[in-house]
Amino acid sequence: MYSRLIISSIMALMLGAPCKVFAQPPVPDSLSVDLEEVTVKATPVIRKSDRDVYMPSAATKERSGGGLALLNNMQMPGVGINTFMKEIKVNGETPELRINNRRTTIEKVMALDPANIARVELITNPGVRYGKVPAVINIIVRNPDSGGFMKISGEQALSDFNFGNYDGAVSLNHGYSQFDINGYYSIRKNFHPTRLYNERFLLSDGHSVTRALTDTLGHAEMLWANINTAYSYSRPDKINIYTSFGFDRNFESYYYEGRTKADENMSGYTDQSFNPVSTPQLHFYMDYNLGRKQTLIFDADGSLGLGRSNRLNREETLPQHETLVSVNNRIRSRNAGLALEGMYMKEWDASRFTAGVRYNLARNREEYNTGEKSVFHQRKDVETIFSEYMHRLGKITLRGGVSGEFWHSEYVENGKSTNDFMFTPDFTFNWDLGSGSNLTLNYSSYSTTPSLTETSVVTQQIDAYQVQRGNPDLKPFTTYGLKLSYGWSIPRFAVNLSARWSRSPGAIMEYNGYTPEGMIFNTWANSTGYTHYFIDFSPRITVVPGLLTINGTVSFRHYRNHGPNYMLISNSIYAEGTAQLTHKNFTLSIYAKKSSRNLWGQTQTRYEDFHMMNLSYRYRNFEFIATWLNPIGEYRGQEIEKRGPIAWSKNRFCTPVARTVSVGFNYKIDWGRKRNGIDRKANTSSGVEQTKAAGK
């Protein structure tokens, strides 16, 4: 009883007044190519005009089994890490991950040797060079020039809910060359979720139908697997080359049976989905030092997505078992993507200039088997020109950038094509206030193009009352943002405070109408606008140096959504926090997250609330881990609510996930290592899409 009270008190502190603390004081990094700036000597973070730089201590590296564990142990302000679910958030939003400035995945971060990580850069105001991302975490790695490294880890739940995570990595170095192979396998089986639906359909004749759906049987299975091989050649003073080949295999399957009560009538239903996707990927990167602080960069990424998406919905009368509706939406996808980027960078003592071009190509083929078989081809091309200039004037740093994007989309079957040009400027003002604090004002903008699902011309039936069809006339839209942030740090305390405003005129939103047959018609349209206001508070405190650290984020969120035929307002709170206790070879972490209610279109979504306890013990090269999910209180699953002609609410949860215990291990070893270094400065991603079969 006493231990439960202690745990509850720590979690209440994290969610009510979360705090953070920095690692040990930074040391100079000879690999840094950033502008020379005045750094705060008394604090363990280097606050630059466009990023915060954190140096992991030797002790933090020693007790970290991989790159993700190192990020968690560094406890950076505003950064929340769920080591069990393999998620990273910055002020509640998903950042872009990079290794040596090249975009990467969380699986490749997990495969890193912590001993090779020189520093971590947190960029909360990305410029036009990064595109439309809320934040960037850039991990700078020094590659050794001899020896090797090996890491294997596994985690398995001790319950009927079969949860497992397994990964491994091997790196071999010789001179300027490094060879890598890493893989990741994660599976969820015997997962029995339950959904509670309440639906109201406003029909075209003015009548409404109210239904309550309750699952009597739920089964889900998920699998994520990846293998990646890479070769890099590094001469930091002259040339860096990186090339890799990877293969991803993702699979999700859901099956539900239940009862539907529509007014006074009872019926049974079956809802099943099946979504396997295979994605081979090829990546090539090179940067060349021209001398006089000039660099040329080339980056190329190609991928092919091969997938299927099946959705079956069947309803029948009870007890007669006569079919009321039977819908079977099946899509087979073959989508290819190619991304190319060329960039030039020039640096001076107090300024930096960057200019580049990007080209993104997508060729998509979707074969629909919904009634009649049909094939839908879409071609998308996006050409982007961007430039950015940064200059420091004493304690003030100014950064300005501009991006011009030409977007072309073509639908082969109907001969329809669309062309648009988007102009997106970016500006940042940074003021070093001294004493470990700075003030930043950022104006940003970026464009968003319609997805495959939103533009598909194929009509898919969802149930007895609804059909779905994309809108090929959708236009890209621009999002404008304004952010004011303040950061302050001293050796045992740090805090980041920010206020954000964002406006998206013409945002692509859900739209509902009626077909000539009287069914409800779901599609998308460019809306009047979408606006949100965020206030983020992210403190961190070292309660006892070397023993207890508390770190977290609290965010207030206000949404305003003006769609084609609706106006919705929503307020919400997001909170996330971690308390970490270390003693000798033991580390105890308590993590908790309270999700916000996010509004987009007519749909308000709250993802699951989550909390866990994690205890690890390190002995030489081995680490042993035990995790306890949702140890106290009730488990709250996903909740979704939609308003309009179709009004419904859904609550999805899985009781067995609560109070699940898992055990795991981590083993790492390196040999004959001698440190070197490489910086990569560009990034591209081909990003193939897949259309999913329509369903609830």
Tell me which residue has tokens 């001076």. 348
What are 316-319's contacts with CB under 8 Å, separation 24+? 316/267, 316/268, 316/269, 317/267, 318/259, 318/266, 318/267, 318/268
Name the average pLDDT for the chain: 83
What 3-state DSSP class applies to 383?
Answer: strand
Predicted confidence (pLDDT) at residue 56 exceeds the cutoff of 50: yes
Q: In sequence order, which residues have a C-beta less than 8 Å from that of residue 555 and are 6 or more positions away?
A: 91, 92, 534, 535, 536, 537, 573, 574, 575, 596
pLDDT-based confidence at residue 234 (cuts at 50, 70, 90): confident
Cβ pair 390, 397 in contact under 8 A: yes
Predicted confidence (pLDDT) at residue 660 exceeds the cutoff of 80: yes
Q: What pLDDT is attached to residue 185?
A: 93
Instruction: Give the residues across from 430 on adjacent strands.
Output: 397, 440
Distance, C-alpha 434 to centroid of its chain: 34
Predicted confidence (pLDDT) at residue 513 exceeds the cutoff of 60: yes
pLDDT-based confidence at residue 43 (cuts at 50, 70, 90): very low
What does the DSSP assignment read for 80-107? EEETTTTEEEETTBPPEEEETTEE--HH
Least confident of 140-144, 184-188, 343-347, 534-538: 140-144
Q: What pLDDT is attached to residue 209?
A: 80
What 3-state DSSP class applies to 67?
Answer: helix
Residues 481-510: what's their mean pLDDT?
A: 91
pLDDT-based confidence at residue 654 (cuts at 50, 70, 90): low
| Residue 672: DSSP 8-state | S
pLDDT-based confidence at residue 39 (cuts at 50, 70, 90): very low
Residues 130-136: what's their mean pLDDT?
A: 85
State how far the Cα of 650 lies from the Cα of 657, in Å rounded to an integer: 19
Residues 107-128: what's their mean pLDDT?
A: 89
Residues 341-347: what's their mean pLDDT?
A: 93
Residues 156-160: what's their mean pLDDT?
A: 85
Joined together, the tokens standing for residue 277 give: 């996707």
pLDDT higher at 373 or 187: 187
pLDDT-based confidence at residue 30 (cuts at 50, 70, 90): very low
Q: What pLDDT is attached to residue 208?
A: 80
pLDDT higher at 617 or 37: 617
Q: What pLDDT is attached to residue 51?
A: 86
Q: Three-class SS string for 540-573?
A: EEEEECCCEEEEEEEEEEEEEEECCCCEEEEEEE
Q: What angle (nearest 5°) sits at the alpha carbon of residue 444, between those of residues 441 and 450?
A: 155
Minimal CA–CA distance to 159: which of 572, 547, 593, 660? 660
Predicted confidence (pLDDT) at residue 494 exceeds the cutoff of 70: yes
264-274 pLDDT, tens digit each:
778 888 989 98
Residues 278-300: what's their mean pLDDT?
A: 92
Instruction: Give the residues across from 243 on adjacent strands.
Output: 231, 284
What 3-state DSSP class applies to 688?
Answer: coil
Predicted confidence (pLDDT) at residue 60 exceeds the cutoff of 80: yes
Predicted confidence (pLDDT) at residue 475 exceeds the cutoff of 50: yes
C-alpha pair distances (Å), 335 with each of 71, 476, 479, 505: 34, 20, 27, 30
Q: What pLDDT is attached to residue 99?
A: 87
Residues 29-34: what's their mean pLDDT?
A: 35
Left (φ > 0), alpha (ψ -120 to 50) or beta: where does 247 sit? beta
Predicted confidence (pLDDT) at residue 35 exceeds the cutoff of 60: no
Predicted confidence (pLDDT) at residue 37 exceeds the cutoff of 60: no
Q: What pLDDT is attached to residue 306?
A: 93
| Residue 459: DSSP 8-state | -
Minimal CA–CA distance to 56: which of 80, 34, 76? 76
Joined together, the tokens standing for residue 252 give: 């999700």
Q: What pLDDT is attached to residue 20?
A: 32
pLDDT-based confidence at residue 282 (cuts at 50, 70, 90): very high
Q: Residues of the chain with pLDDT > 90: what percent?
A: 38
Distance, C-alpha 466 to centroid of its chain: 31
Q: Residues of the chain with pLDDT > 70: what percent?
A: 88
Q: What pLDDT is attached to residue 452?
A: 75
Predicted confidence (pLDDT) at residue 12 exceeds the cutoff of 70: no
Q: Does the CA dihedral 502-507-509-514 come out positive or negative?
A: positive
Residues 140-169: what's their mean pLDDT?
A: 88
Residues 7-20: what's their mean pLDDT?
A: 38
State how far the Cα of 668 lies from the Cα of 66, in Å rounded to an integer: 9
Residues 428-450: what's their mean pLDDT?
A: 90
358-406 pLDDT, tens digit each:
999 999 898 888 766 788 888 889 999 999 999 999 999 999 999 999 9
pLDDT-based confidence at residue 443 (cuts at 50, 70, 90): very high
Q: What pLDDT is attached to residue 684?
A: 57
Residues 589-615: what's their mean pLDDT?
A: 89
Q: What pLDDT is attached to residue 269?
A: 87
User: Residue 640 carries which side chain, given as an amino acid letter?
Assistant: I
Cβ pair 168, 143 in contact under 8 A: no
Predicted confidence (pLDDT) at residue 287 exceeds the cutoff of 50: yes
421-432 pLDDT, tens digit each:
888 999 999 999
Predicted confidence (pLDDT) at residue 121 exceeds the cutoff of 80: yes
Predicted confidence (pLDDT) at residue 568 exceeds the cutoff of 50: yes
In the chain the domains, ranked by start, together with CATH numbers, are 142-671 (2.40.170.20)
